[in-house]
Structure 1
Amino acid sequence: MSTLGIIAILTLLYWLFISLDAHKGMHLLHNLARSTKLPDKPPLVSVIIAAKEEESTILETVRYLLSQNYPRLEIIAVNDRSQDATGVRLEELRRWSQRKKDVQTPLQIIHITHLPEGWLGKNHALYQGYQQARGQYLLFTDADILFAPHTITDAVSYMKEQDVHHLTLTPNMLARGALLNGFVHFFLFSFSLFVRPWRANLDNSREPGIGIGAFNMVSRTAYEAIGTHKAIALRPDDDLQLGISLKKAGFRQKVLSGKHVLQVEWYRSLKEAIVGLEKNLFSGFRYSYTIALLACIGQLLFFIFPWIGLLFLWDWRGALYAVVVVLQILLYRKLMSHLMSKRGDEAYLLPVSASLLLYTIVRSVWLTWKQGGIYWRGTFYSLRELKKK
């Protein structure tokens, strides 16, 4: 049997396994349910947002949070050394909220002008927000997320009823144009198959855990037990690492779909998406060239080659690849529907999106090696320093 034949068989076996695993796992991924009753004594929730050069989105995000129907809420927005009007906009919004009698939620603004050594900017900003927070629950979220009015009420009720220490939600991701839409959704698809987020809902397992930047709600006791953001001070993927640390420490974790209550426009253009991802993709491989190489080979063998084989191999190997392509499309559409209520009509772009992601991984590794580190929010961090942490 030829090498191509063996590869075709192994690729089919991989997609059969991953499709079966995902089909079983997606039954563990439920939507965040609407709450019918709040706890008798609702705990105080501290919402902490880190914002750097977010003048175009931060106002809308905070206004949606100020409109939450949860009765005990405080919002702490941290302006992380922004060079634009982010800080000015936040102060204007704070003064506006103080004048509005129908806005009962206190809004606190923290302005950071100096970043100490050993910290990534966002992680430091979130930690500073935590130090000012008084809540029993801490909600870490991004500066471009739109919340439905009942989101926090539903989340707190769920955590109380299910005795959960960490709840993370997947948002509905918006993208303009077919190519950007395909790329963003493929990244989510590929990431889901790699991380298998549904496994975080298994209580008898301490790994793998997961955290999503749009919505990471954690009990204060659990957050402090894992060492706060100090323990992940130099991780660009802080949201994911927060979830991994909590799960590894044995705290009860749940990941749910927040497609009906959370919305985000992750990137506004394909170029912006590639540039944004190339900064931190290598960190997801633990800055290991070996793991990054294996990831690139996996993209080629399991996501790109089947489409090429379907076109150019007119024998039994091409038939196997045809089955693989069908499995890819079906699983992609199922995941998009389950996580974001999307039909996945852009599935025909899967080989293009996979090629773009492969390019982004290669570029992320190359840039980190060439620079000797990464530029993150305007600050350079050496590879030696990042690996140490």
Structure 2
Amino acid sequence: MRFIEVWALISLTYWVLMLADTLRARQWMLKLPASDPGKTDSEQPIVSVIIAAKEEEASIADTVKHLLNQSYPRVEIIAVNDRSKDATGRKLDELRRWSEGKRDIPIPLRIIHITSLPSGWLGKNHALYQGYLQARGSYLLFTDADIRFEPDTIRDAVQYMQQQHADHLTLAPRMISRGFWLKAFVQFFFFTFSLYVRPWRANDDFQHKHGMGVGAFNMLTRHAYERIGTHRAIALRPDDDLQLGMLVKQARLRQRLAAGTDHIAVEWYPSLREAVRGLEKNMFSGFGYRISVALLGAVGLLGLFLFPVIGMLTLGGWTAWAFGLSAVLLETVYFLLIRSILGQSGREILVFPATACLMCWVVLRSVWLTLRQGGIYWRGTFYSLKELKRMKQASS
């Protein structure tokens, strides 16, 4: 049997299994529901919202104002200015003074200014940890500086966590992508990420190996956060949000992942060029900084996402039919996941081959850049590959 025939069978088998797993997992694909407005506020815990901001002058004011407009009454906001060289710190100080002068805004806003980064820490992780040290809440919400919150988001999240007896709730936001090609690339990234990580497993209470965390919204009980070792346990992980969720699961705590497309939104990247450049910085970390695993991932991208289309169009006989069926199954899984997780139509699948090639390029370039530099540049700070690997081993 020729290699191409073997690969046709491998591809078909893979997509059959992925479809079966996706259909089975639909019971775990949840959406954050609206809360019961009759719930009395006096019974509710304090929620400490902690934001890390570095060079976020364009978005930080809007994010904080959305949080100051929350309907949940027992909130405190701690915004951490992480060594910003732009106007982020000044805008935060102005917001604090403005909010203190408004009687209709009962939510306290505290600002922390960080001027130096100690060794052994990634900037964002250190900033979030510093926010935790000053937080009073029994619930901690870690979020990014460019998230748009609907007014009832925290209220709905707290009530849902209480109903589910959850220690950790993470939400998938509505992704704002401007332009067809950026939207196609972003959706392809989340599609392949979902197949690789299978985020819905976070809602399976009978497994404790695979967890999930989304930087836009990670809400934990204080007890859970301290039990997993806080951000100190993932001090040098660029994928801190995902690793936070993994630690929750490994600690046998109760986790919930839900679609929050009606509650939070984020513009992940403003352009396709920025998306590619951003992913190049930390894509290698997703493969554990292992060259063999990253190369296998690149081969998998081409073999499982691109070859079925090429084989269907160029080959004959049963191999063409096998690749064609693989392509149909691929499209089915794509639509199911994109609509369930991101709430999008999925029409961008029309340029699937192009986005597959671009993602393969990003993976290979991320490996090359990291090895050439001997590490990564993250938010203006360099972290050596040796240091990153050491921290990964310590946290695994």
Question: Common fold, TM-score beyond 0.5?
Answer: yes
SS at the partner of 1:280? helix
Displaced runs of 4 or more, over 4 A: none
Percent identity over the alignment is 56
Q: Does 1:291 align with 2:289?
A: no
Partner of 2:75: 73
Q: What amino acid is aligned across from residue 272 of structure 1 in structure 2? A: E
Contact 2:202 2:257 in 1 (8 A): yes
Q: What amino acid is aligned across from residue 215 of structure 1 in structure 2? A: F
Q: What amino acid is aligned across from residue 8 of structure 1 in structure 2? A: A
Stretch of structure 1 that moved more, 312-321 or 288-297: 312-321
Contact 1:127 1:228 in 2 (8 A): yes
Partner of 1:306: 308
Superposed, which structure 2 residues align to 1:119-198 within 5 Å? 119-198=121-200
The separation in 1 between residues aligned to 2:101 and 2:316, in whole angstroms, is: 72
SS at the partner of 2:215? coil
CA offsets, 1:316-365, max 9 Å, x none? 21121111111111221221111122111111111111111111110110
1:310: how far off?
Answer: 1.9
The separation in 2 between residues aligned to 1:213 and 1:315, in whole angstroms, is: 47
Partner of 1:278: 280
Superposed, which structure 2 residues align to 1:179-218 within 5 Å? 179-218=181-220
Partner of 1:356: 358
Partner of 2:259: 257
Partner of 2:11: 11
Partner of 2:50: 48
Partner of 1:240: 242
Contact 1:78 1:129 in 2 (8 A): yes
The separation in 1 between residues aligned to 2:319 and 2:179, in whole angstroms, is: 34
The separation in 2 between residues aligned to 1:337 and 1:386, in whole angstroms, is: 35
TM-score (norm 1): 0.98
* TM-align CA RMSD: 1.0
Contact 1:12 1:321 in 2 (8 A): yes
1:183: how far off?
Answer: 0.4
SS at the partner of 2:31? coil
Q: What amino acid is aligned across from residue 17 of structure 1 in structure 2? A: L
1:314: how far off?
Answer: 2.7
SS at the partner of 2:56? coil
The separation in 2 between residues aligned to 1:26 and 1:382, in whole angstroms, is: 41
SS at the partner of 1:109? strand
The separation in 2 between residues aligned to 1:304 and 1:145, in whole angstroms, is: 34
Q: What amino acid is aligned across from residue 20 of structure 1 in structure 2? A: A
The separation in 1 between residues aligned to 2:39 and 2:302, in whole angstroms, is: 49
Contact 2:18 2:333 in 1 (8 A): no
The separation in 2 between residues aligned to 1:125 and 1:134, in whole angstroms, is: 16
1:311: how far off?
Answer: 2.0
Contact 1:200 1:207 in 2 (8 A): no
Q: What amino acid is aligned across from residue 136 of structure 2 in structure 1? A: R
Q: Does 1:35 align with 2:43?
A: no
Contact 1:25 1:198 in 2 (8 A): yes
1:273: how far off?
Answer: 0.4
Alignment size in residue pairs: 389
Q: What amino acid is aligned across from residue 16 of structure 2 in structure 1? A: L
The separation in 2 between residues aligned to 1:87 and 1:213, in whole angstroms, is: 21
The separation in 1 between residues aligned to 2:344 and 2:320, in whole angstroms, is: 30
SS at the partner of 2:51? strand
Structure 1: unaligned runs, 5 residues or longer: none
Q: What amino acid is aligned across from residue 337 of structure 1 in structure 2? A: R
Partner of 1:228: 230
Contact 1:123 1:229 in 2 (8 A): yes
The separation in 2 between residues aligned to 1:52 and 1:356, in whole angstroms, is: 28
SS at the partner of 1:110? strand
The separation in 2 between residues aligned to 1:292 and 1:104, in whole angstroms, is: 49
CA offsets, 1:99-126, max 9 Å, x none? 1111110011111110000000000000
Structure 2: unaligned runs, 5 residues or longer: 392-396
Contact 1:141 1:216 in 2 (8 A): yes
The separation in 1 between residues aligned to 2:118 and 2:278, in whole angstroms, is: 24
Contact 1:38 1:153 in 2 (8 A): no
The separation in 2 between residues aligned to 1:5 and 1:372, in whole angstroms, is: 40
The separation in 2 between residues aligned to 1:268 and 1:123, in whole angstroms, is: 24
TM-score (norm 2): 0.97
SS at the partner of 1:279? helix
The separation in 2 between residues aligned to 1:126 and 1:251, in whole angstroms, is: 21
The separation in 2 between residues aligned to 1:26 and 1:139, in whole angstroms, is: 27
Partner of 1:320: 322
SS at the partner of 1:102? coil
The separation in 2 between residues aligned to 1:286 and 1:183, in whole angstroms, is: 23
